[in-house]
Amino acid sequence: MNYRIRGGRALRGEVTVPGAKNSALHLLAASLLTDEPITLRNVPDLRDVRTQLALLEALGKRVEPLGEGAYRIAPGSPLASEAPGELVQKLRASFHVLGPLLARLGEAYVPLPGGDVLGPRPVDLHVGGLQALGAVIEVREGGVCARAPAQKLRPATISLPYPSVGATVHLALTAALVPGTTLIENPAREPEVDDVLAFLSALGAPARRREGRIEVQGQPKLRGAEHRVMPDRICAGTYLLAGAITRGELMVRCRPWHLRPFLDTLQAMGVPLQEFADGVAVRCEDLTLTSLRPVRVETQPYPGFPTDLHPPLTALLSLVPGESRIREGVFEDRFAYAAGLRALGARVRIRGREAIIEGVPRLYGTEVKVERDNRAGAALVLAALAAEGESRVCDEEEQIPRGYHRFAETLRDLGADIVEESLISTRHREEGE
Ligand code: EPZ
C-alpha cells in the first residue's frame, strides 16, 4: 500500500485510539491456555492481529469474529504442538505460543520469530525462563523445541537480567498453567503486561505485581473469561505528534498516565498540551514550530520514554530549531526512518545508538520508502503531513497496517490530505470512465 499525502493541512478533531497491539497479541496467545471459550473486545484490526488469529486457528482454535473488534475464541480441533513457520516468521510475538503449548501438551515446537527487524532480537531470556520452569529446550534448524519431563513443569523464581516485555509476558502466560507460585524478578513494567496479568487472573490464575516482582499462582486448569483490550498508548502518542507537527487542534482519548515521559518531553519542547482524566489535547494552531525547543531523550523500558515513539518524535524534532538527540536505549537499531526523513529534507545523523537531529525550517514533499519498522512508517507519514507539496510514502512491506489501525482513514477524518494509492488508482479509473 502506498500513501499520497499533500502536506500543510492542520489536523482538527478528536481521536479515540484503538486497542493496544502490544497487549492484544499477547492476550490472543493466552487463549491457548484454556479449553473454555474466551471473548476479547476492543481488539485492533491490524495485520499482526490477523496473523496471530490465523496462528490460533492453525493450532486448532476456532476464532469467531463478533464484530466491533470483538472475538470469541473457543476449542476447535485438538491443539497442535507445532506452530507453522510461515505465520511465526511474520510476527515475533507469535513465539510466545511456545510456553502455553508446552504447558498444555508437554511438548511444543515453534520456529524462531520474524516480525519487525530491530537489530538482533534474541529469545535467550524466553528460553532461560522456560528452562527455569523445568523445560528441556533444544534449538534446532531455525526453531525451538521444548519438552516438559514427565509432562510436568514446576513453579520457579525466574530472575530476568533485562526487563524484556516479551519474555515477561511469555513466562507469565506459561506459569499460569504451572500449579504453584512462580515469581518473575526484574519484570517488564509496561502497562500492556498489566493488561495480560489481569486477563490471567480472570482465567483463574491470580497474577499480580508485588514488591517489584510478578507473582503468578499457576493452576492445573483454567476457565474461560472476557477481557477488553486496553487503549494503545503508542497510537495515542503518534496522533498527538501528528497534531503538533501539523499545528492542529487535536483531542486524543487515551490514558495520559501511560504516556508520562512522552508528555513531559512534549512539554519540555513547548508543545501546548492539556491533560484530562481520559485524554490529552494538543492546541497548536497559534504555534510556530520554530518556537519549539530542542530536547535530548533516551528511550528506556517503562516507565522510561517508549522506544516505539522514538521514530515519530524524530519527525517533529526535524522541524525544531537547534540540535536534538534521541538515544535508543532499548533496541540495537531503531533508525529505519532516517533515510526517508533525510529525503524529505530533515537533517538527521545516526552515531552509534544516537540520532542527532538539526532542525530545519521546512520539509519538502517527495517519494519515500517505509523500511522494516511500522513506527518508522508512521514517522514518514507525519513528516509528509508537514512537508510542503506532495509526498508518496511507499509501504510495500505493509509495515504501517501492522501497528496502526485505519491510520490513513483516521488522519483523513481529521483533515489530512492523505489517500491510499489503491484508492487513487480506483478514483482515476472512475474519473477516466
Ligand atoms: C515488545 O517487543 C513490543 N512488541 C515492541 O513493540 C516494543 O518496542 C518492545 O516490547 C519494548 O517496549 C510486542 O509487545 C508485540 P523486549 P519485545 O523483549 O518483547 C532484548 C512495536 O513497534 N532481548 O522488551 O520484542 C531485545 O533484543 C514493537 O510495536 C534479549 O536480548 O521487546 C531488545 O534489545 C517493536 N533477549 C530488548 O531486549 C530476549 O530474550 C527489548 O526487547 C528478549 C529481548
Is residue 429 pLDDT above 60, yes or no? no
pLDDT of residue 164: 97
Q: In what order do the strands lie in the sheet with 207-210?
A: 157-159, 180-185, 213-218, 207-210
Distance between Cα 165 and ligand 1 center (Å):
6
Compute the radius of gyration of the chain from its Cα atoms: 22
Q: Tens digits of per-residue pLDDT, 25-34?
A: 999 999 999 9
Is residue 427 pLDDT above 70, yes or no? no
pLDDT of residue 384: 98
Which positions ≥6 away from 86 have C-beta within 8 Å? none
The model's confidence at residue 65, banded by pLDDT at 50, 70 and 90, is: very high
Report the nearest atom of ligand 1 relative to the CA of 125.
40
Residues with CB under 6 A from ligand 1: 21-22, 25, 92-93, 116, 118, 121-126, 162, 164-167, 188, 190, 307-308, 330-331, 374-375, 403
Average pLDDT over residues 250-264: 97
Q: Determine the Cα angle at 188 with ends 185 and 189, to 5°.
A: 110
Report the nearest atom of ligand 1 relative to the CA of 123.
40
pLDDT of residue 85: 87
Q: Tens digits of per-residue pLDDT, 113-158?
A: 866 666 677 899 999 999 999 999 998 778 999 999 877 899 999 9
Average pLDDT over residues 212-238: 98
Q: Tens digits of per-residue pLDDT, 287-311?
A: 999 999 999 999 999 999 999 999 9
pLDDT of residue 433: 42
pLDDT of residue 117: 62
Q: Which of the listed residues 17, 21, 22 should we mutate to test ligand 1's pocket, taking the one with most ligand atoms within 8 A of CB?
A: 22
pLDDT: is 36 or 430 the higher one? 36
Give the residue carrying C-alpha cell 525544531. 320
Its pTM stands at: 0.95
Q: Tens digits of per-residue pLDDT, 360-390?
A: 999 999 999 999 999 999 999 999 999 999 9
pLDDT: is 236 or 150 the higher one? 236
Average pLDDT over residues 67-83: 97
Distance between Cα 308 and ligand 1 center (Å):
10
- Buried-state track 396-433, b at ≥16 Cβ within 10 A, e below 16: ebebbbbbbbebbebbbebbbebbbeeeeeeeeeeeee
pLDDT of residue 428: 57
The structural domains of the chain, ordered by start, are: 2-18+231-432 (3.65.10.10), 21-216 (3.65.10.10)
Distance between Cα 264 and ligand 1 center (Å):
23
Q: What mean pLDDT value characterizes the chain?
A: 95
Residues 41 and 52: their CA atoms lie apart, in Å, by: 15
> How far out from the chain centre does Cα 269 lie?
25
